[in-house]
Amino acid sequence: MQPSIIRDALLAPDADPLFAEARALRDRVFGREVFQRGVVEFSNHCRKNCHYCGLRAANTELQRFRLDAEAILDAARTAVELGMGTVVLQSGEEETADIRSIGDLIGRIKRLGDISVTLSLGDHSEDAYRYWRDCGADRYLLKMETFNPELHARLRPGQNVAERLARVETLCRLGYETGSGIITGLPDMTPEILAEDLRLLSGLPLDMIAVGPFIPHPQTPLKDAAAGRIDEALRATALLRLMNPTANIPATSALDALDAHGREKGLNAGANVIMPSVTPEPVRAGYNIYPGKNAAPEPVRQIVGRLQQRLRDAGYEPSSSRGASPAKNARQAGNT
Ligand code: 5AD
Ligand code: SF4
């Protein structure tokens, strides 16, 4: 898709035809089954200082936590019992990530059942990525956030597009089902920048692509910036579906922070995955990337059960399949 066509679709007066087309394509490829990924947010320690994120190192008001191995395993077990076919291990970028113990955890989680394990642990060495893959990790999620070099460097101090992209390519080369994504509505992100981000994302050999709207966090430098618009995030979701028919595309949690039915709207714009947090009380509220994230003071089973009911009410069926991306299979078939 040409950047100008993407831009026009982002700005068109009526987005309903776009949503309908994306939904119909999702129905043809995935039906109404929604893959479920249970996210275990096991540590909110982070060495980085991304301007948009509440976990940034400079946020001294945040109470930091790290779950021990048994607590992580309990949360993973809860995810499996709740019907998730994938467990995602996610954390801030820890200063002293223990490569070996994360590897041990991957093996123990894989033995819980017929499930996939996704890692979302940020930037690490190629050796670490290879080791975790050899321990059984199936997927890795590393978001570009934006491909715009100037915006990326400004909002992600000390980081740049080229290095991040090289890491995403390393993950693909190592054989991970690789996911990436962007934040829509970042301050100074024009429709042209967003259109270019969507085009570049769609040019990568990704199995999973995520877009979520920016939500300002009070303990960050962007506290006074305007939030992203949900409509724009939904249009971006629909455009990604049209450009990536077989990719796994989540209805991101950030949509729910802007609208009580945000995730249903994401599915109705062509998404086919949900990624509920299964991080246990009382620490889950401490994984406060943006306001509203993990805010409900309730047990995990209740929160997830309600979300699953919401999906059924909206005409979808929560699936317990591992939900591997047909994109990878299609690529492999093309290579032989
Ligand atoms: N609003 C929306 N998404 C955010 N993320 C981080 N901060 C925010 C925010 N303020 C997303 C980024 C990151 C993931 C941990 O959460 O995409 O990769
Ligand atoms: Fe750390 Fe990720 Fe937040 Fe950046 S976005 S501050 S790397 S947790």
Q: Is 110 in the pocket of ligand 1 (CB under 6 A)?
A: no
Looking at the CA of 211, name the nearest ligand.
Answer: 1
Per-residue pLDDT band for 329 (boundaries 50, 70, 90) equals low
| CA–centroid distance, residue 318 to ligand 2 (Å) | 29
Cβ–Cβ < 8 Å for 90, 43: no
Specify the pLDDT at position 336: 41
pLDDT over 70 at 79, yes or no: yes
Q: Is 215 in the pocket of ligand 1 (CB under 6 A)?
A: yes
pLDDT over 90 at 276, yes or no: yes
pTM comes to: 0.97
Q: Is 132 in the pocket of ligand 1 (CB under 6 A)?
A: no
What is the rounded average pLDDT of the residues 227-236? 98
pLDDT over 50 at 334, yes or no: yes
Nearest CA residue ID for atom 16, ligand 1: 289
Tens digit of pLDDT for each residue in 87-117? 999 999 988 779 999 999 999 999 999 999 9
Q: Is 222 in the pocket of ligand 2 (CB under 6 A)?
A: no
Specify the pLDDT at position 29: 97
* CA–CA gap between residue 79 and residue 305 (Å, rounded): 11
Specify the pLDDT at position 206: 97
pLDDT over 90 at 311, yes or no: yes
pLDDT over 70 at 47, yes or no: yes
Q: Give the mean pLDDT of the chain.
A: 96
| Residues with Cβ within 8 Å of residue 263, at least 6 apart in sequence | 251, 252, 253, 255, 256, 274, 307, 310, 311
Pocket test for ligand 2, best of 44, 48, 62 (most atoms within 8 A of CB): 48
Specify the pLDDT at position 218: 97
Cβ–Cβ < 8 Å for 300, 280: yes
Q: Is 50 in the pocket of ligand 2 (CB under 6 A)?
A: yes
pLDDT over 60 at 85, yes or no: yes
Specify the pLDDT at position 308: 98
| CA–centroid distance, residue 53 to ligand 1 (Å) | 6
pLDDT over 50 at 231, yes or no: yes
Please list the alpha-helical segments (H only) found in the chain: 3-11, 16-30, 69-81, 99-110, 126-134, 149-155, 161-173, 191-202, 230-243, 253-258, 262-268, 300-313, 326-335
Specify the pLDDT at position 335: 53
| CA–centroid distance, residue 187 to ligand 1 (Å) | 13
At 163 the three-state DSSP class reads: helix
Residue 225 backbone phi and psi in degrees, to 5? -75, 155
* CA–CA gap between residue 140 and residue 72 (Å, rounded): 18
| CA–centroid distance, residue 89 to ligand 2 (Å) | 15
Q: Quick one: what percent of the chain has pLDDT higher than 70?
A: 98
Tens digit of pLDDT for each residue in 53-69? 999 999 999 999 999 99
Tens digit of pLDDT for each residue in 166-185? 999 999 999 999 999 999 99
Tokens 């690490």 correspond to: 124
What is the rounded average pLDDT of the residues 261-269? 98
Per-residue pLDDT band for 302 (boundaries 50, 70, 90) equals very high
Nearest CA residue ID for atom 18, ligand 1: 143
